[in-house]
Amino acid sequence: MLFMVATRSSRELRFAALHGPRARSVLAIVAGTMSVWAGAALAEQLRGLDLNVGPPPALAPGQPPPLPEPGPLAAPRSQHQVGFPATLTKSVIPSASPLTPAVVALGEKLFFDSRLSGDGTVACASCHDPARAFTDGRPTSVGIKGRAGQRNAPTVLNALYNKTQFWDGRVDTLEQQAALPITNPFEMGAARLDDAVGRIADDEDYQQQFMQAFGRTVNEQDLLRAIATYERTLTSFDSPFDHFIAGDATAIGDAAKRGWELFNTKAKCNLCHALTEKQRDVAVLVDNDFHNIGIGILRHHVVPLVRQANRELAEGKLQVIDAKAIESEISALGRFLITKKQNDIASFKTPGIRNILVTGPYFHDGSMQTLWDVVDHYNKGDGLSDPWLDEDIQPLALTEPEIDDLVAFLVSLTSPQYTELGEKELARQQAIAKVSRPQRDTVRAFSAKPRRPSPPPF
């Protein structure tokens, strides 16, 4: 029994578990008392408990990931969420593709339909599970026949606001995006989009639904349009943070409030996780840009990798880039695969950070387990010997209480559908962070910014 631990915050957690979505602000309160709750015996107490969060069970060789059922969490979100950016949302919905109920219902059905994959085992939802805030909880995704890719599955919640899609921004629209996993050999593995369409074309329900939605029978273009339209209904706001911004000063705890200040000042998160550096962004928390923030690249021999990329992607075909980004080591080059510019080596898109508590593990390669790892990473200004590191990455000199405050702020970005999941996940991450902080390097965090080495000759 997790909630038997007799601290003040665990009682609050129990309250939240019992009261569900009504206990929205409890998460914030819990975050505000984080140091109390991280009592010494806690990690011990949590060890071995089935929290039903964290990475899903490992798969046997050759086994595809399980296919989730659609349910209430897959339903289109309301436009009446606190914090819902109405004007922005209107501007990102193409006028030719309004969110009509018939199209949205069709899109949802397709999102969960494994018949679109090469062997009928994998659907979009296999890697974008609504119960996990439309991620899969794995460091990197596993697709058809158990093939493991190189990249972490981002959430599709709020993906409608992305100016580009994928970690490297290789396409712009959700329609273009949806076509690629269907034929990617490591994801859904259909030989061609045509084949996927063919497998549902004889289905009378689909025939009727396509007719109702678009006035014509099953076809490729409308299939992609329906999936994209459904995704545009998956907006996620109404978090304690949104209530705080809307004027409810009690919606988040003091720690989260201090964390929000730090986010925009000393911790410099707003240099990238905001539309502009000058103005606070409370909607999407991205700059629509790409940066190398020192994740992963130093494990690789970059010069041979760049040569390999130049060779393999010589023709610049999107489908080839898509395949390599998922299955090959050149994946680590990030935005470089698209632009072939040296400055873009190991640059990745600034991701949205709403619901971040429940969309781990973190970064494009899923290499970090907890939000403490993420903040420790930024705090030391990682990538000392990364010649392509973004100039805004630097030691931050954040103290331990400041790190906890930033985490409390990140936790406050959890939408109400994921309050309970978030509580369990927070407890799990706290237990881990209590005993393991692999990214922490306090000496470096308080040192001067090292000089960036020059890039090697190519």
Q: State the residues that interact with ligand HEC by CB under 6 A.
A: 122, 124, 126-128, 141, 143, 149, 151, 153-154, 156, 159, 162, 165-167, 174, 177-178, 181-182, 187-188, 227, 267-269, 271-273, 291, 293, 295, 325-326, 348, 350-351, 353, 356, 359, 362-364, 374-375, 378, 390, 392-393, 406
> CB of 201: closest distance to ligand HEC in angstroms?
17
Nearer to ligand HEC, 39 or 387 (CB): 387
> CB of 6: closest distance to ligand HEC in angstroms?
31
Nearer to ligand HEC, 42 or 325 (CB): 325
Nearer to ligand HEC, 243 or 273 (CB): 273
Nearer to ligand HEC, 5 or 125 (CB): 125
> CB of 163: closest distance to ligand HEC in angstroms?
10
Nearer to ligand HEC, 253 or 352 (CB): 352
> CB of 175: closest distance to ligand HEC in angstroms?
10
User: At which residue do the structure tokens 């006028």 appear?
Assistant: 95
> CB of 344: closest distance to ligand HEC in angstroms?
11
Nearer to ligand HEC, 30 or 160 (CB): 160
> CB of 18: closest distance to ligand HEC in angstroms?
29
> CB of 366: closest distance to ligand HEC in angstroms?
8
> CB of 110: closest distance to ligand HEC in angstroms?
8
Nearer to ligand HEC, 292 or 417 (CB): 292
Nearer to ligand HEC, 104 or 356 (CB): 356
